[in-house]
Amino acid sequence: MSTPARPANRHHRRPRGEGQWALGYREPLNKNEENKKNDDGLNVRQRIIDIYSKGGFDSIDPADLRGRFRWFGLYTQRKPGIDGGKTAILPDEELDDRYFMLRVRIDGGQLSLEQLRAIADISNDYGRGTADVTDRQNIQLHWIEIESVPDIWRRLEAVGLSTTEACGDTPRVILGCPLAGIDAGEVIDGTPQIHEIYDRYVGDKAFSNLPRKFKTAISGCTAHCTVHEINDVAFVGVVNEQGEPGFDVWVGGGLSTNPMFAQRLGAFVRPDQVHEVWAGVTGIFRDYGYRRLRHRARIKFLVNDWGAEKFRQVLETEYLQYALPDGPAPEAPQSGRRDHVGVHPQRDGNFYVGFAPRVGRLDGDTLHRIADIAERHGSARIRTTVEQKMVILDVAPDQVESIVSELEAADLQVNPSTFRRQTMACTGIEYCKIAIVETKATASALIDELERRLPDFAEPLTINVNGCPNSCARIQVADIGLKGQLVANDKGEQVEGFQVHLGGSIGLNPTFGRKVRGLKATAEELPDYVERVARNFEKQRNEGETFAEWVQRADESDLK
């Protein structure tokens, strides 16, 4: 009996539409896209001012509350007392508190004393003193009531700050080196390009409906502190064969549940071209990005499917209408720690002083204290970093000893332990609706324990603590990445814990962290676990070997 012939078109079906506008798929394919088509997120600002701030929380349209509010940096925070086991079960209405997280965007991490004090006052007046420095150089406040938002905006805008497009499917804060313009070794100062893109495009409706969030970094820092490898688009300082400083372009980086490293386009971009190239890359994402499924709506999926060569071709032919010359790759990072903690010379003979708040957690009074300390020592410029740290610029040589003493007295460590310096934590279950476990307090307690147990440990070791799988704290590229989940303790009870990722890295040999089968730890077990692995590393490492390199060759028994 013969086998029936297969239909001739079995393998030639029309591919299912991904919601790409450029290919004609303009009808919304999910609730988020429908919401954005119904009304641009930027339009919610006036409703907040005219209606919601006057009518209170109960007057807010749900489509604005859980959608368009993000276009101005507002998320409802988690209602207190809801444990992590209910995060994925309860509907938003039950998880929502009547208060908001408000994200203040700080492009390039650049703050004046006046701006820092304005944030501090808002924190104290409206946010119960909360203030967290994020790993994207922003400052987040909590406990914000909708009635207060118009006055907060007035205060921020009076000093040149904004929450516009701090969240949402928009171009979010632009990362920049905190030492831009003062670092003697930098390839190029990216500050003018950051300002030009912000001034031209942030708040522009041409880019206010992207498939999802869009993250940018622009820097000429030789330490590569803006982690260009994991941004949607990044401009990295290079010098071409003619000796001209400019930028190398990377696209398609991102973490979350499907981590991917950015790809080089291999094109050299002059400083005056950066805003055009940025608009072209963002335009490609807007027009060709996958809008059908939210979990595939980041630009990294498009870049992964197209490849760098096609992406560059479309950029040049359809968006720029000119070809970019080929250019060199960036030189390798010059430091094992890609941050700016400590006291270091500037190009002008002054010094910058980088210090480590505890996992980015500050408060309004401490922000005021930082501004006062800086001003007493002749500085008018503060910077935030992508490692949840801060930097004071322009400190005269004869002021260094005094400013270090004052910062240390405020528990703002200038010469921190490895653990204080290199531990990060996301917001966690305290405020975040998608978190499963507590992070800030857990990470802070871990630092204290490790400092007590390993007082002489001096090797670079990043410990990134995340409350859910979304990797806001970059767990896949940490030496020790801790992904929050509920785990069973030795009594069989479900408690807060973490899946462990080991040996993630960026730089010369980028790799995502290794997951060892069955390797999980309860929050209570974390100090024992990290101490054990750190001691094994110290005993077994070869000269010059990093933790990530050791993990790749270590026996699994030494990683548990």
Query: 503-532 burial, b if ≥16 CB within 10 A, otherwise e?
Result: bbbbbeeebbbbebeebbbbbebbbebbbe
Q: Residue 164: which of 232, 75, 74 has the closest Cα?
A: 74
- Return the axis-axis angle of helices 113-126 and 149-158, rounded to nearest 10°: 170
For domain 16-165, give the CATH number: 3.90.480.20
Q: Which two tokens stand for residue 295?
A: 């979990």
Given a contact cutoff of 8 angstroms between Cβ atoms, the answer to whether 299 and 214 are in contact is: yes
Write out pLDDT tens, residues 287-304.
999 999 999 999 999 999
Q: What percent of the chain has pLDDT over 70?
A: 97
Least confident of 8-17, 460-469, 489-498, 522-531: 8-17
pLDDT value at 520 more than 70: yes
Given a contact cutoff of 8 angstroms between Cβ atoms, the answer to whether 135 and 387 are in contact is: yes
Looking at the structure, give the CATH architecture of the domain made up of residues 421-558. Answer: 2-Layer Sandwich (3.30)
pLDDT value at 11 more than 80: no
Domain boundary assignment for the chain: 16-165, 342-416, 421-558
> What does DSSP assign to residue 156?
H
pLDDT value at 148 more than 50: yes
Write out pLDDT tens, residues 154-213.
999 999 999 999 999 999 999 999 999 999 999 999 999 999 999 999 999 999 999 999
Residue 391 half-sphere exposure toward CB, CA atoms < 13 A:
28
Sheet with 390-395: list strands edge to edge. 110-112, 381-384, 390-395, 351-355, 342-345
Q: What percent of the chain has pLDDT over 90?
A: 92
pLDDT value at 80 more than 50: yes
Distances from the Cα of 537 to the Cα of 171, 447, 520, 548, 551, angstroms: 40, 18, 19, 10, 8
Question: Do the domains at 16-165 and 342-416 have one common CATH topology?
Answer: yes
Q: Which two tokens stand for residue 466?
A: 């995340």
Residue 318 burial by CB count (10 A; 0-12/13-18/19+): exposed, middle or buried? middle
> Which pLDDT does position 166 carry in this prediction?
98
Tell me the C-alpha distance between 255 and 475, whole Å. Answer: 9
Write out pLDDT tens, residues 112-147.
999 999 999 999 999 999 999 999 999 999 999 999
Tell me the C-alpha distance between 128 and 215, whole Å. Answer: 29
Given a contact cutoff of 8 angstroms between Cβ atoms, the answer to whether 419 and 461 are in contact is: yes
E-strand spans in 193-337? 214-219, 233-239, 245-251, 263-269
Residue 147 burial by CB count (10 A; 0-12/13-18/19+): exposed, middle or buried? middle
Given a contact cutoff of 8 angstroms between Cβ atoms, the answer to whether 352 and 396 are in contact is: no
Q: CATH number for the 342-416 domain, one of 3.30.1490.20, 3.40.50.300, 3.30.70.2860, 3.90.480.10?
A: 3.90.480.10
Residue 449 half-sphere exposure toward CB, CA atoms < 13 A:
17
> Which pLDDT does position 8 carry in this prediction?
40
> Which pLDDT does position 507 carry in this prediction?
81
pLDDT value at 53 more than 60: yes
Q: How many residues does the chain have?
A: 560
For residue 4, name the pLDDT band (cuts at 50, 70, 90). Answer: very low
Compute the average pLDDT of residues 307-316: 98
Residue type at 499 in one-letter notation: Q
Compute the average pLDDT of residues 371-394: 98
Compute the average pLDDT of residues 366-377: 98
Instruction: Tell me how crowded residue 366 is: count the other CB atoms within 10 A of its CB.
Output: 18
User: Checking DSSP bridges between strand 171-175 and strand 214-219, what pairing results, if any?
Assistant: parallel
What average pLDDT does the structure give for the chain?
A: 95
Q: Which two tokens stand for residue 254?
A: 């991102």
Write out pLDDT tens, residues 404-455.
999 999 999 999 999 999 999 999 999 999 999 999 999 999 999 999 999 9
> Which pLDDT does position 15 carry in this prediction?
53
Write out pLDDT tens, residues 314-361.
999 999 999 999 999 999 886 667 789 999 999 999 999 999 999 999
pLDDT value at 5 more than 80: no
Given a contact cutoff of 8 angstroms between Cβ atoms, the answer to whether 209 and 289 are in contact is: no
